[in-house]
Chain A
Amino acid sequence: MKKILSLILALAVVLSFSMANAEETLNGAGATFPYPVYSAWAYDYHKTTGVKLNYQSIGSGGGIRQITNRTVDFGGSDNVLTPQDLNKDNLLQFPAVMGGVVPVVNIPGVKEGELRLDSEAVCKIFLGEIKQWNDKKIKDLNPKLNLPDKEITVVHRSDGSGTTAIYTHYLSGACAAWKDKVGYGTSVKWPVGIGGKGNEGVANYVKRTANSIGYVEFAYAKQNKLAHTLLKNPAGNFVAPSFDTFEDAADTADFNAKNHFATWLTNAPGKNSWPIAGATFILLAKEKKDSNMKTVKFFDWAFKNGDAKAKELIYIPMPKSLKDKIRAYWKANGIY
């Protein structure tokens, strides 16, 4: 009995000691897409400042709900909240990092970056209106390619995802038929195709199924060595997905602090812009000044020191002009 008592006592001492020394912790929850880069930043940030960041990747929907209920210090979301939504729940919003979405194909005989598509072609393929790879529309865009007389297998995400939101937003902006029939969102009612779970699921199906087309985050296309397509952007140029073309999209996009940066990065007007990109956002509770200062401090640090890490993980760091706009936004709201 004595032994147990002393054990409990020892445990209590240890516990109270660790509690007194409890580190400063920031709690965030939300989108799964930026989780790898946030945790990499958090690791480095902890090493230099001793402040711990705990980010739970529960999904954008959960992130929005948690910050609306004020259970976390910040929420993460791939969805762009409108100024009305933000004002209703008394929230602030700013972009933290960006990513690109890339159509990938598996057509025997067609190599990476060879297939040229414009938004009308992509749209019609995903609507099921273009059924064969040797359709006249695709042939006209690719006179030099020998396209097979085979049925196209469309692969999309089976789970709800920010990647899908960005991709369908691109399609909605690029063609009216898509906007009418399907629209955009984290999950939509797909007219054709099979669903793969997660980026890895889509990558796997595209790799395995001949004559297929799917869409994945840029990082997955690179890692899985999938053949990406070239896309015609609104400026009329065929572009390949790369850090440069993504950054160009971010540079030319109309991010505005007045509407809390509520801008999609799809169909950006720049000459070299990749048309399917998106930022992932941080949501803050307006009235919680203290915790907001801490969160902002972290992201300010990440903006200064985190670009290399982000690129390593194949995320697109934000251009300097945008970072400055965000800092001004923080200052205007008294948290910087």
Chain B
Amino acid sequence: MIFSKKKNPVDLIFSFITSVASISVILITAGILYVLFTESSLSIEKFGFFKFLTLVDWDPVKESFGAAAALYGTLITTVLALIFAIPVAVGIAIFVTEVAPNFLKGPVGIAIELLAAIPSIIYGMWGLFTLAPIMAKYIEPFLQKTIGKLPLVGILFEGTPLGIDLLTASMILGIMIIPFTASISRDAFNLTPAVVKESAYAVGATKWEVVKDVVLPYSKLGVFGGVAISLGRALGETMAVAFVLGNNNQITTSLLDAAATVTVKLANEFTEADKDIYLSSLYYLALLLFVMSFIVLAIAKFLILKAERRSNR
């Protein structure tokens, strides 16, 4: 509404300021994309798109760079983190909105939000000094002795458990994204009209049935939204995983093996990247992550929009 018919000067200034603010977001995003693209042009020229995408090698000495291992690590940790986080987060949200007595709702809600406020570097340090030793000593040997013995799944738990691996990194990521998913889901659950829920209770539905058949279908959009936001966060999370993933450039089937993600690679190698092609390849990785996050979030947004339209009908 930049040129509204009413020419009230205050209104004009106001709408001008808000439009500048929102346009700047688009400009900044475009600017970042532009810089990433120009900085990585050297590497794009040398390796091309498909070769860079599929090459597992990452050798700064011989100047051979490929993104496959880092992209693989990024996807695996993100998916695993979502698998860990979604059930817990939705459980928390259901507890807070439907199950918990009133005096508990406040404290639990605040605790979730505090979890979201912890800087990621602290998760990283905690992961390195506390979680990794626990994983290496107790949890991973236990997993190897139990599910590791099963056929097929067994290959997921091979190797010496050292605590610096995909599993530990995914768990930390999972813990980090729980609060986002949980608090958005909680808000979504709260939007379920009380009348609908009370009617369900009135016809004799149990609490489980109300949650399953009334609250969840009613608010699945909000839950989707929460998951999408956590997904974005998990894809780009850096410091929390940089300490516990080892930055080993390899594609591994075992979750107890060190690996690398795009962000971990950038955080670890950016400062000392001394050759132009090396730096350019790191920028190329960043560009791929940018595009990947963009696509994933676009898909998530698309799904939400589609579901929204269906429910409006």
Contacts and interface: CB of A to CB of B under 8 A. Distances in A.
Q: Do A and B interact?
A: yes
Given A195-B258, A201-B243, A61 B271 contact: yes
Interface in B56-92: 57-62
Interface string B247-279: 111000000001000001001111111100001
B128 interface: yes
Contacts of A185: 60-61, 274
Contacts of A197: 128, 242-243, 247, 268
Interface string A41-84: 00000000000000000111110100000000000000100000
A199 interface: no
A189 interface: yes
A interface, over-half SS: loop
B248 A58 contact: no
Contacts, number: 95
Contacts of A187: 60, 268-269, 272
Contacts of A32: 271
Interface string A192-203: 001111000100
A329 to B, nearest CB: 23
Given A62-B271, A188-B60, A208-B136, 17 more contacts: A60-B272, A61-B272, A61-B274, A61-B279, A158-B245, A160-B268, A183-B61, A186-B273, A187-B60, A189-B58, A189-B61, A195-B246, A197-B242, A197-B268, A204-B129, A205-B162, A209-B162
Contacts of B248: 158, 190, 194-195
5 contacts: A60-B272, A60-B274, A61-B274, A158-B242, A158-B268
A194 B58 contact: no
Nearest to A193: B248
Interface string B152-190: 000000001010100000000000000000000000000
A184 interface: yes
B148 interface: no
Given A158-B247, A182-B61, A187-B60, A58 B271 contact: yes
A324 interface: no
A162 B271 CA distance: 11
The number of chain A residues touching the other chain, given as a range, is 20 to 34
A58 B273 CA distance: 11
Interface in A125-178: 151, 153, 158-162
Chain B contact residues: over half helix, strand or loop, or mixed?
Answer: loop
Nearest to A165: B272
Contacts of B273: 61, 160, 186
Contacts of A58: 271
B163 to A, nearest CB: 8
Contacts of B242: 158, 197
Contacts of B279: 61
A263 to B, nearest CB: 18
A159 B61 contact: no
Contact of B160 (A151, A182, A208): A151
Interface in B269-313: 269-274, 279
B272 A186 contact: yes
A159 B274 contact: no
Contacts of B268: 158-160, 187, 195, 197
Contacts of B269: 159-160, 187
Contact of B133 (A64, A196, A208): A208
B60 A186 contact: yes
B274 A188 contact: no
Contacts of B162: 153, 194, 205, 209
Contacts of B164: 194-196, 205
A201 B128 contact: yes
Contact of B271 (A59, A79, A204, A205): A59
Contact of B61 (A158, A188, A196, A205): A188
B272 A189 contact: no
Identify the interface centre among A58, A183, A195, A196: most chain B CB within 10 Å of its CB: A195
Given A160-B268, A160-B269, A209-B162, A204 B246 contact: no
Contacts of B62: 183, 189
A155 to B, nearest CB: 9
A313 to B, nearest CB: 21
Contacts of B246: 158, 194-196
B258 A194 contact: yes
A163 to B, nearest CB: 10
Given A195-B246, A195-B247, A195-B248, A160 B272 contact: yes
Interface string B95-111: 00000000000000000
A61 B269 CA distance: 10
A162 B129 contact: no
A45 B58 CA distance: 43
Nearest to B268: A159
Which 5 A-B pairs rank lowest in CB-CB distance, beginning with the nearest?
Answer: A59-B271, A160-B272, A158-B247, A183-B61, A159-B268
Contacts of A208: 133, 136
